[in-house]
A and B are shown apart, each in its own frame.
Chain A
Amino acid sequence: MLLIHCPYCDEPLPELEFAYAGEAHIARPADPSALSDEEWRDFLFIRSNPRGHHFERWRHINGCARFFNAVRETVSDKFLLTYAAGEPRPDLAKLTGGNA
């Protein structure tokens, strides 16, 4: 079971309290009608799916119910960082000491 640190409740809590909500930092296009079919495909369907560090959204559904973002290593499933929604994407090199 994953232990996930909710940045709002500020404590590590069991995975059962959380719902995964997909890749993070995918911004909805500002002018949707201007997008080509390829750009819509990239926005809707293409995901980075890395074997390594993944930026992702979680929701503390059975707790404070708020969305937040996380950086997790997808082979070990270890969380490097969780941070509030709306905060900028953290610099991966700083988090991993350059070993990303």
Chain B
Amino acid sequence: MTHFSFAQVIKGALTGQKHWTPQWPDAQPKAGYDVVIVGAGGHGLGAAYYLAKEHGITNVAVIDKGWLGGGNTGRNTTIIRSNYLYDESARLYDHALDLWENLSTELNYNVMFSKRGVLMLAHNVHDVQSFQRHVHSNRLNGVDNQWLSAKEAKLFCPPLDISPSARYPVLGAALQRRAGTARHDAVAWGYARGAAARGVDIIQNCPVTAIRRGPDGRVTGVETAKGFIAAKKVAVSAAGHTSVVMQTAGVKLPLESYPLQALVSEPVKPVFPCVVMSNSVHAYISQSDKGELVIGSGTDQYVSYSQRGGLPLIEHTLAAICEIFPVFRRMRMMRKWGGIVDVTPDRSAIVGKTPVPGLYVNCGWGTGGFKATPGAAHTFAWTIAKDEPHPINAPFTLERFTTGRLIDEAAAAAVAH
């Protein structure tokens, strides 16, 4: 693996940039592996990376039906934050945030993590009370979050309209300064490069059609478009398609898949300094380093695998954006797309073991999986390697839907994670 450094940049500049080589090989499947990970997004590649690096398990394949990072990893709005209400979530997302802070150094790959701050707007009295509760809960958990008055919010984000006559008046905002954005593709590429350098095979354009189990019930491998691949352990990290894959192993999950849409504007000069989310009106916005405004909305209301989503939602989101930021009323939108997100009844993820021996699942991240990528991958790798929960992912079991110990972020936030 090429080690990127300042000296290497200079050397490349002086030698006509002829030093570039592929960052990871396009592997073909072997007959069998210790661990097969289904889904080469950030979560799956990250799990492979940590399996190889921290647990010494390098006989690993990551298999994807498309190209790596081509699913929700490449479709999200790249927001990273950890100001969740409940203790379990705060620990998991803050663990991810700790890893985000050093991820570029860790991977020797610039994931462009930018701590520009995430501002969550309160538009009514209920929002104010709910967000202040979040701020207090976060502070007790050692998670950075603070309350801003409307004027302070305006100072932090000048394009904001805080006039009392606004359609969506701003009564205040919760600000997590440690939160921000990262370059989503670079996260997948960085993990892929790090994993491949340690011997992990990354197999693209190879749909997994079924998970196979032996007579004792244990997993034996996966059927794919390129034939059967034996595996001692199978870990599924397939986002919106998790329930389809898991059903082939006879595991039913409490998941429903919805399209989640995002869109970008034409690129403009730097105008927007942070990330703003508005849960009440279902819109969030930031500006990418390329200059595009990156805008996200809520999920469509119906179950779908279409990766498109409907226009009414986009219209609703843009109407809200134009009201909150009148300066953007004449911006033109360039592209919109959808990703399929797997939503659990309590809007918290499922990370851990399944009733099938040797089968593990990391799913249910719903609309907010990107921010958790390093934390989820790190603890998931632990669970795969040791066949036991990591202290941080232990509450996020599949059993909680039987025991009733839900982590009800659905009630805490209701929307937009």
Contacts and interface: CB of A to CB of B under 8 A. Distances in A.
Interface of A: 1-2, 15-16, 19-20, 23, 37-38, 40-42, 44-47, 49-51, 54, 56, 72, 74-77
B401 A47 contact: no
A77 B254 CA distance: 22
A45 B304 contact: no
9 contacts: A1-B312, A2-B302, A23-B256, A23-B303, A49-B243, A51-B305, A74-B303, A76-B306, A77-B306
B403 interface: yes
Given A45-B345, A76-B306, A1 B311 contact: yes
Contact of B345 (A44, A51, A54, A74): A44
A51 B244 contact: yes
Given A40-B402, A41-B402, A44-B345, 4 more contacts: A20-B302, A47-B254, A54-B303, A77-B302
Interface residues of B, number: 24
Interface string B151-173: 00000000000000000000000
Given A41-B402, A46-B252, A49-B256, A75 B312 contact: no
Contact of A15 (B310, B403, B404): B310
B301 interface: yes
B253 interface: yes
Given A44-B345, A46-B254, A74 B312 contact: no
Contacts of A37: 402-404
B256 A47 contact: yes
A16 B254 contact: no
Contacts of B308: 77
A1 B257 CA distance: 18
B312 to A, nearest CB: 6
Interface string B303-319: 11110101110000000
Contacts of A54: 303
B-side interface mostly: loop
Given A44-B345, A45-B254, A45-B345, A1 B306 contact: no
Interface of B: 241, 243-244, 252-257, 301-306, 308, 310-312, 345, 401-404
A28 B212 CA distance: 34
Contacts of B255: 47, 49
Nearest to B399: A41
A16 B312 contact: yes
A78 B304 CA distance: 10
Nearest to B342: A49
Contacts of A56: 302-303
B302 A75 contact: no
Contacts of B244: 49-51
Contacts of B306: 74-77
A45 B303 contact: no
A20 B301 CA distance: 6
Would you list the 4 A-B pairs with minimal beta carbon distance, nearest first? Answer: A45-B254, A20-B301, A20-B302, A49-B243
Given A1-B311, A44-B345, A77 B401 contact: no
Contacts of A23: 256, 303
A7 to B, nearest CB: 17
Best-buried of B257, B303, B401 by chain A (most CB within 10 Å): B303
Given A15-B310, A15-B312, A74 B304 contact: yes
Given A19-B301, A56-B302, A74-B303, A41 B310 contact: no
